[in-house]
């Protein structure tokens, strides 16, 4: 059985999320900060009448070290150029994830449960791995991204 997935790059690795209903891809933009939110929450984005929380999933997955606790200076504007925000919806909860670049939309067979190759990624957030043309694609579990707390 195949399902459609959206593939994207994060820190040079290939990831995918299941396409389920509407999805939007917008260039990265600053979000409205929410003090005392989870550290990986960039903020809130008001897009076409919907308020999306925006998750910095590189940090959420543990692909980078977390920043210092508390306030840090804003990153230089150039650092974020080229990044995109994927706006999606899981079980009627809208949210956005920041990715380095969007690769393509593609049908894939359902991921296997293998978690052997998840070096450096929080395994709770991964649904499984799919191989396509020798590429290893980590399929993220949208619902767990939302409730990773």
Partner 1 sequence: MAEGTRYLILSLQGEGYAIPISRLLEITVPRDIQKDKSLSEMFEGKCEFRGKFVPVLNLKKIFNLPGSKGTALLMVQSAKGTMGLLVDEVSEIFDTAQKPAPVPAGVLNPSMRYYNGILRHRDNLVLLLNEDGLLP
Residues that bind partner 1 (CB under 8 A): 32-38, 41, 44, 46, 51-53, 55, 70-71, 93-95, 145-149
**β-strand partners of 124:** none
Q: Compute the least distance from the CB of residue 60 to partner 1, in Å.
A: 10
Report how far residue 55's alpha carbon sits from residue 148's, in angstroms, rounded to the nearest whole number.
11
For residue 37, what are its two tokens?
A: 């939110």
First to last CA, the chain: 32
User: Distance (Å, rounded) from C-alpha 133 to C-alpha 118?
Assistant: 19
- Measured from the CB atom, the residue of 71 and 117 that comes closer to partner 1 is 71
Q: What is the nearest approach in angstroms of partner 1 to the Cβ of residue 32?
A: 4
- Distance CA(40)–CA(57), nearest Å, equals 7
Q: Which is nearer to partner 1, 7 or 54 (CB)?
A: 54
Please, what is the minimum distance in Å from the beta carbon of residue 127 to partner 1? Answer: 17
**How far is it between the farthest Cα atoms of the chain?**
47
CB of 65 to partner 1, least distance (A): 19
**Residue among 93 and 112 whose Cβ is closer to partner 1:** 93
> For residues 75 and 134, which CB has a smaller minimum distance to partner 1 in the complex?
75
> What are the structure tokens assigned to 61, written together?
């997955």
Nearer to partner 1, 54 or 129 (CB): 54
Closest CA to 50 of 5, 85, 99: 85
| CB of residue 95 to partner 1, shortest distance in Å | 6
């Amino acid at each position: 059985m195949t399902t459609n997935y959206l593939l994207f790059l994060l820190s040079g690795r290939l990831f995918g999320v299941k396409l389920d209903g509407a999805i939007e891809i917008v260039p990265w933009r600053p979000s409205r900060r929410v003090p005392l939110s989870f550290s990986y929450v960039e903020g809130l984005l008001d897009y076409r009448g919907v308020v999306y929380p925006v998750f910095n999933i590189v940090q959420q997955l543990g692909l980078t070290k977390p920043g210092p606790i508390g306030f840090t200076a804003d990153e230089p504007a150039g650092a974020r150029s080229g990044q995109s925000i994927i706006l999606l919806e899981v079980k009627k909860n809208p949210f956005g994830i920041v990715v380095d670049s969007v690769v393509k939309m593609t049908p894939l067979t359902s991921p296997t449960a293998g978690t052997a190759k998840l070096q450096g990624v929080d395994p709770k957030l991964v649904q499984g791995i799919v191989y396509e043309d020798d590429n290893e694609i980590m399929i993220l579990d949208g619902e767990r991204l939302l409730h990773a707390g």
